[in-house]
Amino acid sequence: AQKITQTQPGMFVQEKEAVTLDCTYDTSDPSYGLFWYKQPSSGEMIFLIYQGSYDQQNATEGRYSLNFQKARKSANLVISASQLGDSAMYFCAMRDGTDSWGKLQFGAGTQVVVTP
Amino acid sequence: SAVISQKPSRDICQRGTSLTIQCQVDSQVTMMFWYRQQPGQSLTLIATANQGSEATYESGFVIDKFPISRPNLTFSTLTVSNMSPEDSSIYLCSVGGQGRTDTQYFGPGTRLTVL
Beta strands at B110-114 and B10-13: parallel, antiparallel or unpaired: parallel
- The strand ranges marked E within chain A are 4-5, 10-14, 19-21, 24-25, 32-39, 46-52, 60-61, 64-69, 74-79, 88-96, 105-106, 110-115
Calculate how close chain A gets to B14, using CA atoms only, in Å: 22
φ/ψ of residue B87, rounded to 5? -85, -5
> Residue A25 and residue B48: Cα distance in Å, rounded?
23
Kindly report the nearest CA distance between residue A101 and chain B, in angstroms: 7
Q: What is the number of CB-based contacts under 8 A between chain A and chain B?
A: 69
pLDDT in tens, chain A (116 residues): 558 999 999 999 999 999 999 999 999 888 888 999 999 999 999 999 999 999 989 999 999 999 999 999 999 999 999 999 999 999 999 988 766 556 889 999 999 999 99
pLDDT at A102: 60
Q: Pick from B44, B48, B106: which is nearest to A101 by CB?
A: B48
The answer to whether A32 contacts B111, with C-beta atoms less than 8 Å apart, is: no
Q: Which of A103, A108, A109 sits opposite B45 (nearest CB)?
A: A103
Mark residue B52 as left, alpha or beta (left: phi above 0; alpha: psi -120 to 50; beta: remaining).
Answer: left
Chain-chain contact of A103 with B100 (C-beta, under 8 angstroms) = no
Dihedral through CA A109, CA B60, CA B4, CA B42, nearest 10? -10
Residue A90 φ/ψ, nearest 5 degrees: -120, 130
* pLDDT tens per residue, range B58-96: 999 999 999 999 999 999 999 999 999 999 999 999 998
CB contact under 8 A, B104 and A42: no
Q: How many CB atoms lie within 10 A of CB A5?
A: 15
- Smallest CA–CA distance, residue B111 to chain A, in Å, is 8
Percent of chain B with pLDDT over 90: 80
Concatenating the DSSP letter of every residue in B54-111 gives PPEEPTT--TTTS-EEEEETTEEEEEE-S--GGG-EEEEEEE--SSTT---EE---EE
Q: Which residues of B touch A106 (CB under 8 A)?
A: 42-44
